[in-house]
């Protein structure tokens, strides 16, 4: 692992530890939800990291589709970036669903309800799981193209998830950030949000970078194996014609 990744990892862990300390012992409990409200310090940052990963997946998929016939090396890198960020995004989306369910059990008294926000998020998770299944278990450039198209259409659900609490009547709390006038959090609670937002975004970038390197190396190995097989076939054909 390169030096800059070790430095990034060390800084990330330090930020996460500080975020944990601030979230649990520095900021006061929520006035309405009590200690259960502290889960927002992880729920919101993990969903922000999910959004960053899915946005990067969208960009990688678009670049792959635009360059797959003209710049093979760039297309491979874009595809590797799309796959790696989709993997990390799916994990963070699942964490968001789990933390939301834990909060719902504590505050609503139920683990799950078919609320528009929850339902659209579950659909989002299933879309990207399907994307990864297509990308992983179906070989060939045609399937990579299909997966890239799936990722583009799948991203349409991201703004639907974000806007669901504005478009429909829902049990989910109103938007805390960027919502109606008067929305937001008390200034005394914001440090826990900012520390964890930074920490989990940095952690997502770190994991995605490791997966990107591994994915790109795997693609290069597959390409080399394919070229070697073609060379072997050409040699055998030439010898058979003698």
Quote the pLDDT of residue 178: 54
Helices (H) and strands (E) in the chain, counts: 7, 0
Whether residue 212 lies inside any domain: the answer is yes
In this predicted structure, the answer to whether residue 201 has a pLDDT above a threshold of 70 is yes
Selected residue with higher pLDDT from 32 and 58: 58
Whether residue 18 lies inside any domain: the answer is no
| 34: phi then psi, degrees, rounded to nearest 5 | 70, -145
Whether residue 181 lies inside any domain: the answer is no
Distance CA 132, CA 211 (A): 14
Quote the pLDDT of residue 109: 81
Mean pLDDT of 218-241: 66
pLDDT single digits (tens) 70-113: 998 999 999 999 999 999 999 999 999 999 888 888 877 888 88
Whether residue 178 lies inside any domain: the answer is no
pLDDT single digits (tens) 109-122: 888 888 888 889 99
Nearest to 60 by CA among 157, 150, 130, 163: 150
Whether residue 19 lies inside any domain: the answer is no
Q: In 22-68, which residue ranges form alpha helices assigned H by DSSP?
A: 40-67
**Which SS3 state, helix, strand or coil, does residue 34 take?**
strand
Quote the pLDDT of residue 223: 74
In this predicted structure, the answer to whether residue 218 has a pLDDT above a threshold of 80 is yes
Counted domains in the chain: 1
Q: Which residue has the tokens 């649990």?
A: 24
Q: What is the mean pLDDT of the chain?
A: 86
Whether residue 115 lies inside any domain: the answer is yes
Mean pLDDT of 155-173: 81
Quote the pLDDT of residue 133: 93
Is residue 7 packed enough to be buried (19+ CB in 10 Å), middle (13-18) or exposed (0-12)? Answer: exposed
Quote the pLDDT of residue 86: 97
Evaluate the CA torsion angle 133, 134, 140, 144 in order and state its sign. Answer: negative
Angle at 92 between CA 11 and CA 46, to 5 degrees: 60
Nearest to 134 by CA among 121, 115, 147: 147
pLDDT band at 124 (very low <50, low <70, confident <90, very high): very high
Whether residue 131 lies inside any domain: the answer is yes
Quote the pLDDT of residue 143: 84
Distance CA 17, CA 39 (A): 16
Mean pLDDT of 213-232: 76
- Percent of the chain scored above 90 by pLDDT? 56
Distance CA 33, CA 224 (A): 57
Whether residue 53 lies inside any domain: the answer is yes
Quote the pLDDT of residue 188: 80
- Taken as a whole, the chain contains a residue count of 242
pLDDT band at 127 (very low <50, low <70, confident <90, very high): very high
In this predicted structure, the answer to whether residue 172 has a pLDDT above a threshold of 60 is yes
Distance CA 14, CA 149 (A): 38
Distance CA 15, CA 10 (A): 9
Domain hosting 119: range is: 41-173+187-222
């Amino acid at each position: 692992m390169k030096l800059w990744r070790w430095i990034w990892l060390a800084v990330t862990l330090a930020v996460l530890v500080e975020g944990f300390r601030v979230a649990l012992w520095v900021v006061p409990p929520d006035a309405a939800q009590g200690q259960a409200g502290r889960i927002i310090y992880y729920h919101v940052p993990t969903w922000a990291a999910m959004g960053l990963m899915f946005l990067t997946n969208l960009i990688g998929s678009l670049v792959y589709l635009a360059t797959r016939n003209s710049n093979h090396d760039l297309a491979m890198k874009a595809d590797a970036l799309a796959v790696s960020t989709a993997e990390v995004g799916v994990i963070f989306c699942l964490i968001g669903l789990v933390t939301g369910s834990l909060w719902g059990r504590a505050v609503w008294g139920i683990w799950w309800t078919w609320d528009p926000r929850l339902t659209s998020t579950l659909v989002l998770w299933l879309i990207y799981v399907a994307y990864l299944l297509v990308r992983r278990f179906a070989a060939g450039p045609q399937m990579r193209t299909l997966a890239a198209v799936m990722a583009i259409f799948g991203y349409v659900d991201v703004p639907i998830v974000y806007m669901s609490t504005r478009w429909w009547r829902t049990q989910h709390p109103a938007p805390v950030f960027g919502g109606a006038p008067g929305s937001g959090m008390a200034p005394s609670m914001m440090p826990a949000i900012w520390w964890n937002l930074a920490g989990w975004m940095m952690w997502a970038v770190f994991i995605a970078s490791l997966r990107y390197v591994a994915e790109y190396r795997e693609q290069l190995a597959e390409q080399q194996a394919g070229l070697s097989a073609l060379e072997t076939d050409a040699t055998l054909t030439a010898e058979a014609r003698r």
